[in-house]
Amino acid sequence: MKLGSLAFILSLLALSPSAAAQTAPASPRPITIDDYFQIQAVHDAQLSPDSRWVAYSVDKGALKTDKNETRIWMVAISGGDALPLTAEGVSSSHARWGPDGKLLAFLSARNEGKTQVWLLNRLGGEAQQLTDTAQDVEDFAWSPDGRRLVLVLKDATPEELDAAKEKFAAAHSSTSSDTGSDDKKPKSKKPWVIDRLQFKVDELGYLDRRRTHLYVFDIAKKSLVQVTSGDFDDTEPAWSPDSKLLAFTSNRSKPDPDQTYNSDIWVVAANTSDRGAHLTQVTTNPGIDNSPAWSPDGKSIAYVTTLDPKLFDYATRHLAMSPASGGPAKVLTLSLDRMVSNPRFSPDGQSIYFIVDDDATQNLAQIHIADGQMGARPVTGSVFVGSYSVGSGTAGNVTANTIAVQMATIDGPDEIYTIVGGKLTQITHTNDALFSQLKLSHGEYVHFKSKDGTQVSGYLYKPLDYVSGRKYPTLLVPHGGPVWAYYAEFSHLAQLYAANGYAVLFPNPRGSTGYGQDYCKAIYANWGNKDFQDDMAMVDYAIEQGLADRDKLGVGGWSYGGISTDFIITQTTRFKAAISGAGAAEFSSLYGHDQYQRDYETELGLPWENQEAWIKVSPFRNVAKVTTPTLFMGGNLDWNVPILGSEQMYQALKRLGRTTELVVYPDEFHEFTLPSHIKDRFERDLAWYAHFVKGDPTPARPAPSPKSTD
């Protein structure tokens, strides 16, 4: 992909997200399915070393081509027009500034090759391929001195090594050879040979013994040295300030890492070729330690820690700090009792920033190291901070930390904001043109009591045609996880349902994050009980408010939201229709079929030893009680919550003579990616609910739509 010059970049400003946001129609309109593919996902804010620019990525799906694409943009810290650094036609992402602030490295797979690191001068010019490894580059980071990169590479397959050898031979051969017709013959696929305890993961499929390790790439010499090895996965590399050491995350538990949730922070010399023979173990906590970040003086490492391995995902993730040479850990957020992520030291090393999951929001927080006191949150309120980058800038005559933040609100998707001198300012306007056309339902954060008196919260969206005193068809949408939550961030799905005349309920029942560890672990080995009560409490709340029509209720969610839907329809007949996406109901049949063997064993025990616990959390045992017309959906390649779970529920309901349908999407994992499949899901959702909840005469199955020409 050629960028040409700065003049060429400036000529593209007519296409930039901010330049397009100049005109708006006279009257806003309801959101549509196709608007989903016009919303551009802004993410991965990266502040330049001089704190003058922010690089970021923008994702967009296109129905016309049925593909997704990511581009890299840059905007001045003061705002203004955004500059496209990569052109349309090929995806580029994970932009990272070189220490001098002139060069940007990024990941891209071009010319039908592997994903490699490319280099670009921010002033313009053509991107240059920097690395040429046999396998994909999964991650990388610049050394502070700018001379090297650390690459995260998975061990290459024999086929990848052979292809690399052939490529090298062809590049150094003066003549080309005719290989004849053999090249046109389809290559036979070899069987998977499996000998690992954890042998399957969604989007990766079957796992072999190939592992992910760290390599140091010398930019000037174009040389590559492997610095870690072994039957372990090494991830999240972070350079020490003097460019001599690398901290990283790895589960090196003995005798088998697949048996535990443990991961620790380790340190290895960046100039070694002994492949990790001499490592320093920084943490020894038996739970998860990850996300290492060096202090500016190189003496300490901050990281995220989980203190109770038996609670795994249910346990609160705390902020901790340890000496870089190893030693006692200092947990800084014990009194906070909220999930933390993404720690970063302030430039002066006196405090640590992190993202805190708190009461259906994600804020940017700060804690002072000396006294352990929480400072004022740089970003607070009803917002969702997705990522951030810390630098040092100048606000007037006062030197202050400069921060770039990726942030969403309940009424708008992610954009980039800056904090200079404590002032929060939006500097990108990627989606302004689209959202100026839309009429939205503002999600209200509401509170209500569950059956046992527990205080529960959630987001409530009124239909666009809302009139006080009128009752509306209402959809309950349980969230995935279960350890997750609905946050103060834009939801196209909620807006789509509201635009089609529904009140929409997004509850955060027990099991959700943001309300403390006790609230989160309340459903441990007890799914579909207290969370069911909390979900139903929000339905009752909406009815009591005079909003929800008790005779026109629907329910549906994805992942654990689909599992919750299965629990709900086996315990109540209040709903006129249900949609269970990527759900499951008979968990013992999923043991060894999905990716959660370790979770099942920790929470429920072995299925042949503790059958009672497995049966207790299985809604399939009550499948005969289901009378709700239910649509089941999922991807055929999903190893997170395999389609088997939906197939079993569909088969049982079909055998019982209930109204049901199963839709299986080819070549899709747990999270769908193909725009045409995503659109098809939305269309089926609306048709199913319109027919059974509203009682519309339209069919429950949408008519085939013509190919989009967007």
* CA distance linking residue 187 with residue 205, whole number of Å: 20
Q: Does 180 reside within a domain?
A: no
Distances, alpha carbon 667 to alpha carbons 205, 671, 674, in Å: 12, 11, 9
The pLDDT score that the predictor gives to residue 8 is 30
Which two structure tokens, joined as six digits, stand for 409?
Answer: 């609100």
Amino acid at 515: Y
The pLDDT score that the predictor gives to residue 11 is 35
Q: Among 109-123, 408-422, 503-517, whose mean pLDDT is lowest?
A: 109-123
Average pLDDT (223-233) is: 95
Radius of gyration of the chain (CA): 26
* CA distance linking residue 637 with residue 672, whole number of Å: 10
* CA distance linking residue 29 with residue 622, whole number of Å: 43
* CA distance linking residue 481 with residue 641, whole number of Å: 11
Q: Does 596 reside within a domain?
A: yes
* CA distance linking residue 252 with residue 230, whole number of Å: 9
* DSSP letter string, 328-363: --EES-TTT-SEEEEEEE-TTSSEEEEEEEETTEEE
H or E segment at 708?
A: none
Amino acid at 113: G
Neighbour count for residue 244 (Cβ, 10 Å): 14
The pLDDT score that the predictor gives to residue 708 is 45
Task: Tell me which residue has tokens 């999905």.
Answer: 594
* CA distance linking residue 530 with residue 355, whole number of Å: 28
* CA distance linking residue 314 with residue 14, whole number of Å: 47
The pLDDT score that the predictor gives to residue 186 is 66
Q: Which of 69, 71, 72 is nearest to 46 (CA)?
A: 72
The pLDDT score that the predictor gives to residue 394 is 44
Average pLDDT (237-265) is: 96
Amino acid at 88: E
Look up residue 16 and give its DSSP letter: S
Domain limits at 608?
A: 440-694
* CA distance linking residue 574 with residue 262, whole number of Å: 43
The pLDDT score that the predictor gives to residue 705 is 65
Confidence band, pLDDT 50/70/90 cuts, at residue 111: confident
Task: Say whether 635 sits in a helix, a strand or coil.
Answer: strand
* CA distance linking residue 411 with residue 409, whole number of Å: 5
* CA distance linking residue 130 with residue 114, whole number of Å: 12
Average pLDDT (165-181) is: 64
Confidence band, pLDDT 50/70/90 cuts, at residue 703: confident
The pLDDT score that the predictor gives to residue 704 is 78
Look up residue 379 and give its DSSP letter: B
Which two structure tokens, joined as six digits, stand for 355?
Answer: 């993202």
Q: Which of 134, 164, 130 is nearest to 148 (CA)?
A: 130
Global pTM value: 0.92
Confidence band, pLDDT 50/70/90 cuts, at residue 487: very high
Q: Does 530 reside within a domain?
A: yes
Average pLDDT (549-571) is: 98
Does 359 or 271 have the greater pLDDT score? 359
pLDDT, averaged across the chain? 92
The pLDDT score that the predictor gives to residue 173 is 72
The pLDDT score that the predictor gives to residue 175 is 53
Confidence band, pLDDT 50/70/90 cuts, at residue 190: confident
Q: Among 104-113, 233-242, 533-542, 668-677, whose mean pLDDT is lowest?
A: 104-113
* CA distance linking residue 102 with residue 3, whole number of Å: 16
Confidence band, pLDDT 50/70/90 cuts, at residue 166: confident
Cβ atoms of residues 412 and 431 within 8 Å: yes
Neighbour count for residue 174 (Cβ, 10 Å): 4
Q: Does 532 reside within a domain?
A: yes
Q: Does 564 reside within a domain?
A: yes
H or E segment at 681?
A: helix 675-689
The pLDDT score that the predictor gives to residue 476 is 98
Cβ atoms of residues 400 and 359 within 8 Å: no
Domain count of the chain? 1
Average pLDDT (16-32) is: 65
Does the pLDDT at position 602 exceed 80? yes
Neighbour count for residue 518 (Cβ, 10 Å): 11
The sign of the dihedral angle between the CA atoms of 520, 524, 527, 530 is negative
- CATH of residue 631's domain is 3.40.50.1820
* CA distance linking residue 32 with residue 466, whole number of Å: 18
Confidence band, pLDDT 50/70/90 cuts, at residue 87: confident
H or E segment at 304?
A: strand 300-306
Q: Does 39 reside within a domain?
A: no
Q: Which of 123, 89, 126 is nearest to 109 (CA)?
A: 89
The pLDDT score that the predictor gives to residue 164 is 84
Q: Where are the alpha helices (DSSP H) in 545-610?
A: 560-569, 597-604
Cβ atoms of residues 58 and 430 within 8 Å: yes
Task: Tell me which residue has tokens 């990266």.
Answer: 46
Q: Does 419 reside within a domain?
A: no
Side-chain half-sphere exposure of 396, counting CA atoms within 13 A: 4
* CA distance linking residue 230 with residue 245, whole number of Å: 19
Confidence band, pLDDT 50/70/90 cuts, at residue 225: very high
Q: Residues 412-465: pLDDT tens digits?
A: 999 999 999 899 999 999 999 999 999 999 999 999 999 999 999 999 999 999
Q: Among 73-87, 330-344, 437-451, whose mean pLDDT is lowest?
A: 73-87
* CA distance linking residue 354 with residue 111, whole number of Å: 39
Does the pLDDT at position 373 exceed 50? yes
Does the pLDDT at position 378 exceed 90? yes
The pLDDT score that the predictor gives to residue 398 is 39
Confidence band, pLDDT 50/70/90 cuts, at residue 274: confident
Does the pLDDT at position 16 exceed 50? no
Chain-centre distance of CA 63, in angstroms? 22
Please provide the distance, in angstroms rounded to a whole number, between the alpha carbons at the two ends of the chain.
Answer: 24
Confidence band, pLDDT 50/70/90 cuts, at residue 292: very high
The sign of the dihedral angle between the CA atoms of 280, 284, 286, 292 is negative
* CA distance linking residue 73 with residue 18, whole number of Å: 11
The pLDDT score that the predictor gives to residue 174 is 56
* CA distance linking residue 231 with residue 96, whole number of Å: 29
* CA distance linking residue 308 with residue 211, whole number of Å: 27
The pLDDT score that the predictor gives to residue 123 is 82
* CA distance linking residue 670 with residue 202, whole number of Å: 7
Q: Does 575 reside within a domain?
A: yes
